[in-house]
Amino acid sequence: MPLIPEYQAMMDQLKEVGAPPIQDMAVAEVRAMYKVSQPVYEDLSVFLIKQSEISGPAGPIPVRIYVPSAAGPHPMIFLYHGGGWVIGDLDTADSEARELCVGTNALVISVDYRLAPENQFPAAVDDSFAVLKQANQLAQQFNGDPERIAVAGDSAGGNLAAVMAQMARDQNGPAICFQLLVYPVTDGTNLERNSYHEMANGYLLTRDAMVWFWDHYCPEEDRGNPLASPLLADNFSNLPPALVMTAKYDPLCDEGEEYAERLSSAGTSVEHKHYEGYMHGFFSHTPMIPSIRESMEDACSALRRVFKS
């Protein structure tokens, strides 16, 4: 199946403009470009949005809390934004956070973890887990239900969500009831899978860009650490149920599929949704491209089922 028409039009426009590839740009330039492309989604109203901070290993970690209008206590979704651990922030994740809050009636805690290259691995992991460990405190503050906690993220955020599920299992909680992994990065040691070559160029995320992200995020000698590459974990048992979402036109497709297979082989309940005409980034594009709403509806439906909401 070819790219959906809206994505083909987008790629044609980008080709006409002739924007330089990510790997040829300075980090500050890529961050600014990404911020413009992922604006705050004010058209989708949320009952209450609150800025807060959580104490972390290197200082306060900004979080943005999205509170639904439904009566609580609310299930809780800890959301980790994409952007290769180098770009992205609370604003670029705003559309996903709003969609998940409204679509599931859950409390969404969006986490502004430290970025590389200023703060390399494991800074993002440490910040992400520091916030997750404060689940009880956040539940008390915002009428959340600490018995219904999900972790979620796309791309690098999917990597962090998968790592959070493993860490919570291994470090006595908090108990996670679901993991939403959207085109997750799962293995920094092998960028030679078929999808890395077949989708190396011509789409929003390229193989060279992923090399650039990994080089900024994590030294090669540390990429075999499961906290950087969760696919390399020794133990996949006793992990929470998962929805793993992948796109055909995405270099990360194969490693996302492999992660789903590894979870399933270990006895974890996992659903793998593969979207044929989509490319990397689709989860944040629903405000711009209505025809890909299916993916957000699939995610919200899976979360509602596990939350029983």
Task: Verify whether residue 187 is a known catalytic residue.
Answer: no
Q: Around Cβ 118, how many Cβ atoms within 10 Å?
A: 10
CA distance 106 to 69: 9
95, 110, 128, 155: which one is catalytic? Answer: 155
| Helix, coil or strand: residue 287 | coil
Residue 251 half-sphere exposure toward CB, CA atoms < 13 A: 21
Per the CB < 8 A criterion, the answer to whether 285 and 188 are in contact is no
Task: Verify whether residue 95 is a known catalytic residue.
Answer: no
Which among 283, 279, 252 has a CA at the least distance from the CA of 5? 279
User: What is the three-state SS of 145-178?
Assistant: EEEEEEEEEECHHHHHHHHHHHHHHHCCCCCCCE
112, 187, 250, 254: which one is catalytic? Answer: 250
Per the CB < 8 A criterion, the answer to whether 188 and 218 are in contact is yes
Using the 8-state DSSP alphabet, how is residue 209 labeled? H
149-to-101, 126, 135, 276 alpha-carbon distances in Å = 13, 19, 8, 30
Q: How far apart are the first and last CA of the chain?
A: 35
154, 280, 285, 295: which one is catalytic? Answer: 280
CA distance 164 to 158: 10
Using the 8-state DSSP alphabet, how is residue 21 labeled? P
Task: Verify whether residue 89 is a known catalytic residue.
Answer: no
Extended beta strands in 41-177, E state:
48-56, 59-67, 74-80, 107-111, 144-154
User: Cα dihedral angle (90, 92, 94, 100), rounded to 10 degrees?
Assistant: -110
Q: What is the CA radius of gyration of the chain?
A: 18
* Active site residue ranges: 155, 250, 280
